[in-house]
Amino acid sequence: MYIIRKYWYMLPIVIFFVSLSLFASNAPAPDISTFGGASTNKANQYNFAQVIKGTSIDDAVTISWDLDKNQIATVTLGGNRTLGAPDNMRDGGTYILIVKQDGSGSRTLSYNSAFKFPAGTAPTLTTAASSVDVLTFISDGSSMYGVSQLDLK
């Protein structure tokens, strides 16, 4: 009784924290498949455009394309090149490669066997200086099925 009389003013605080702990222990676990209201395990509808930031990948004799970091990528060819097997292909992933000729032009691009094109024929890129071609791919996780849009102006 003495304790209650001495510390009676703290009773509301104690009740608050006891209630809070009981509520928290009965709370459902958070759904980690959602982020910002969107869910990864169901179809989502957005009220505004969702944009994937384009990146540049380095020009090299064999061009490396990490799809986890470069879903939409641009490369400027500085010589005749080969597009190497892409890293991190995902089943159902859609990928875009914008290929630009440098100021000299006349650059060619060959493709790793992971890249598949209609009728088995890889596109011949536009070779005029500073020209732009777009390659669009859908992956099944082991191959990249692509189409091309050439000589975009």
Tokens of 52: 């994937």
d(Cα 83, Cα 116) in Å, to the nearest integer?
Answer: 12
Structure tokens at 90: 């995902």
CA distance 144 to 86: 9
150: pLDDT confidence band, cut at 50, 70 and 90?
very high
Which residues share a beta bridge with 152? 132
pTM (predicted TM-score): 0.73
Average pLDDT over every residue of 89-106: 97
Contacts of 19 (CB under 8 A, 6+ apart): none
Alpha-carbon distance 10 to 73, whole Å? 62
The confidence score (pLDDT) of residue 17 equals 53
DSSP 52: P
Q: What is the pLDDT of residues 45-94, one digit of tens each?
A: 888 888 899 999 999 999 999 999 999 999 999 999 999 999 999 999 99
CA distance 136 to 69: 16
Average pLDDT over residues 128-134: 98
For the chain, give the percent of residues with pLDDT over 70.
74
